[in-house]
């Protein structure tokens, strides 16, 4: 494991971020990791993990100090999400969703909106990012949810599907179309809906293959009335907000996937170092060593690219869409491949729930699908080379 540990240690984080990361590792080792299998089985929302994360004040690391947080670097955030996902992917998804969902508020909300909404999130509130609809998945611009201005209010009608944490969220960052704008794409707008809004209801909950304790629900907005001051930016600014949000959330999905991949790799290495067949430890067979060599090398390269993209975002570079697509696509494909090979290296035991690799393989799959499927990312990356 030396080469990967050296790569981890080479992350040049300031002392305070390093100390926080150590505290996260201890929390994952002592609490979150040991509870992961039971949460996977029960599919119950992991409140004690979320409460423990909030005791460490982790939401604060992405919220500016002026609004109750203690903002740290994006690289530190990526390193944290990777650690949490390594111990429990479902808990990582819940915490990561908080970041993905609240980032548009941090980047685009007015001072009044931030003062009103962010301190509660810094203190442990949960946020949902509501984009997908039953007929608008990969092409989110096909969404039908409608925002109709009515005096000082906005009236919302529509439905969302596959919304992470939607049954527990305190705040919903909701995408829809402004009724007064005719052009389909130009109409996309964003509003902020607070918990308890009349007409907002949870209409279904998914029973998932993996990341089972992270809830994924359908939401209905039936004449939901919110004050106009809950509009984010101007009507029609939705696409700008969406693209900016995705540039930050896609590397986060990569970090999450790499956490799962790293857990699977470490478990597999430990297992084949002690499992014997034909009088030798399995790791001594050359065919097995070739598998490890490919997995470890790809992990090192992908992790290095993750830190590179993270550093670009910390430097304030905005044009990082292709880099974000590349790291999301490659990290999630790698997580799927490594978790599948980790099952293979465990033989028949890997197919049984006594070993965590069985869960890692199920948890990894969704990372290739959400935040843009990997087919969509391949298109985005390939298209960027067309000379116009
Ligand atoms: C566990 C989970 C959590 C989620 N969390 C959230 C959330 O918090 N908020 C939210 O808004 N959404 C969320 N999603 C939704 C997720 O982002 C979508 O599922 C994803 O964007 C794909 O959309 P779809 O499922 O409708 O698939 P579709 O778009 O119908 O795609 C089906 C298949 O067709 C392929 N395809 C589609 N278009 C093209 C194309 N142009 N070229 C080539 N292939 C194409 C896709 O790659 C895929 O293989 C979540 C989903 C899941 C399962």
- Shared domain check, 308 and 251: yes
pLDDT at 292: 98
The count of domains in the chain is: 3
Residue (of 166, 242, 164) closest to 200 by Cα position: 166
Angstrom distance (rounded) from CA 137 to CA 131: 8
- Shared domain check, 120 and 157: no
Residue ranges making up the domain that contains 97: 2-126
- Shared domain check, 370 and 280: yes
Task: Please give the C-alpha separations between residue 226 and each of 33, 145, 157, 205, in angstroms, as whole numbers.
Answer: 40, 14, 12, 25
The residue with tokens 């790809």 is 298
Which of 17, 303, 358, 371 is catalytic? The answer is 371
- Shared domain check, 148 and 72: no
DSSP string of 293-322, one letter each residue:
HHHHHHHHHHHHHHHHHHHHHHTT----HH
pLDDT at 188: 98
Angstrom distance (rounded) from CA 290 to CA 269: 13
- Shared domain check, 63 and 145: no
Distance 139 CA to ligand 1 centre (A): 8
CATH of the domain at 132: 2.40.110.10
- Shared domain check, 202 and 295: no
Angstrom distance (rounded) from CA 178 to CA 135: 18
CATH of the domain at 341: 1.20.140.10
Q: Is 369 in the pocket of ligand 1 (CB under 6 A)?
A: yes
- Asked if 100 and 255 count as a contact pair (C-beta separation under 8 A), the reply is no
- Shared domain check, 271 and 232: no
Classify residue 69: in a domain, yes or no. yes
- Shared domain check, 227 and 182: yes
Classify residue 137: in a domain, yes or no. yes
Atom of ligand 1 at shortest distance to CA of 208?
A: 1
Low-confidence ranges of the chain (pLDDT < 70): 1
Mutate to test the pocket of ligand 1, among 369, 379, 382 (most ligand atoms within 8 A of CB): 369
Residue (of 376, 127, 96) closest to 249 by Cα position: 96
- Shared domain check, 168 and 116: no
pLDDT at 237: 98
| Boundary residue ending a domain (236, 264, 293) | 236
Q: Is 370 in the pocket of ligand 1 (CB under 6 A)?
A: yes
Classify residue 279: in a domain, yes or no. yes
Angstrom distance (rounded) from CA 384 to CA 12: 31
Residue (of 113, 176, 114) closest to 148 by Cα position: 176
pLDDT at 388: 83
- Measured from the Cβ of residue 228, the count of other Cβ atoms closer than 10 Å reads 12
14-22 long-range contacts, CB within 8 A, separation 24+: 14/73, 16/72, 17/72, 17/73, 17/76, 20/56, 20/61, 20/72, 20/76, 20/80, 21/76, 21/79, 21/80, 21/83
User: Mean pLDDT of all residues in the chain?
Assistant: 97
Q: Is 131 in the pocket of ligand 1 (CB under 6 A)?
A: yes
Query: Annotated catalytic, 284?
Result: no
pLDDT at 256: 98
pLDDT at 1: 66
- Shared domain check, 314 and 256: yes
Both tokens of residue 176? 């829809």
Classify residue 388: in a domain, yes or no. no
- Measured from the Cβ of residue 193, the count of other Cβ atoms closer than 10 Å reads 22
Atom of ligand 1 at shortest distance to CA of 160?
A: 11
Atom of ligand 1 at shortest distance to CA of 371?
A: 17
The residue with tokens 């705040």 is 171
- Shared domain check, 46 and 161: no
- Shared domain check, 7 and 120: yes
- The 10s digit of each residue's pLDDT in 167-191 is 999 999 999 999 999 999 999 999 9
pLDDT at 351: 98
CATH of the domain at 45: 1.10.540.10
Q: Is 98 in the pocket of ligand 1 (CB under 6 A)?
A: no
| Boundary residue ending a domain (236, 257, 273) | 236
Q: Is 375 in the pocket of ligand 1 (CB under 6 A)?
A: yes
């Amino acid at each position: 494991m030396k080469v990967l540990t050296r790569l981890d240690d080479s992350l040049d984080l300031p002392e305070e971020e390093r100390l926080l990361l150590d505290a996260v590792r201890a929390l994952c080792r002592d609490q979150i990791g040991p509870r992961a299998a039971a949460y996977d089985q029960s599919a119950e929302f992991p409140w004690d993990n979320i409460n423990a994360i909030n005791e460490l004040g982790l939401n604060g690391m992405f919220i500016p100090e002026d609004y109750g947080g203690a903002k740290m670097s994006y690289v530190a955030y990526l390193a944290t999400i990777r650690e949490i996902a390594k111990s429990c992917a479902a808990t990582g998804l819940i915490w990561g969703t908080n970041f993905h969902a609240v980032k548009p508020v941090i980047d685009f909300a007015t001072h009044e909106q931030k003062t009103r909404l962010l301190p509660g999130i810094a203190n442990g509130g949960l946020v949902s990012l509501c984009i997908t609809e039953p007929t608008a998945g990969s092409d989110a611009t096909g969404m039908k949810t409608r925002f109709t201005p009515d005096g000082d209010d906005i009236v919302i009608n529509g439905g969302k599907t596959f919304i992470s944490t939607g049954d527990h969220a305190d705040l919903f960052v909701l995408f829809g179309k402004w009724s007064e704008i005719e052009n389909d794409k130009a109409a996309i707008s964003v509003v902020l809906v607070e918990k308890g809004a009349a007409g907002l209801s949870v209409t279904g909950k998914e029973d998932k293959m993996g990341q089972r304790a992270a809830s994924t629900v359908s939401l209905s907005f039936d004449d939901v009335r919110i004050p106009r001051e809950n509009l984010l930016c101007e009507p029609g600014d939705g696409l700008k907000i969406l693209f900016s949000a995705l540039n930050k959330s896609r590397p986060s999905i990569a970090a999450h996937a790499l956490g799962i991949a790293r857990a699977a790799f470490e478990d597999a290495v430990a297992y084949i170092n002690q499992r014997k067949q034909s009088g030798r430890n399995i790791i001594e067979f050359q065919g097995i060593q070739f598998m490890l060599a490919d997995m470890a090398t790809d992990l090192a390269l992908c992790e290095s690219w993750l830190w590179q993209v993270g550093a670009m975002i910390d430097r304030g570079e905005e044009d990082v869409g292709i880099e974000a697509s590349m790291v999301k696509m490659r990290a999630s494909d790698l997580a799927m491949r490594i978790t599948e090979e980790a099952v293979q290296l465990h033989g028949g035991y890997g197919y049984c729930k006594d070993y965590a690799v069985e869960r890692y393989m199920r948890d990894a799959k969704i990372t290739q699908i959400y935040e843009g499927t990997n087919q969509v990312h391949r298109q985005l990356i390939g298209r960027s080379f067309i000379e116009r």
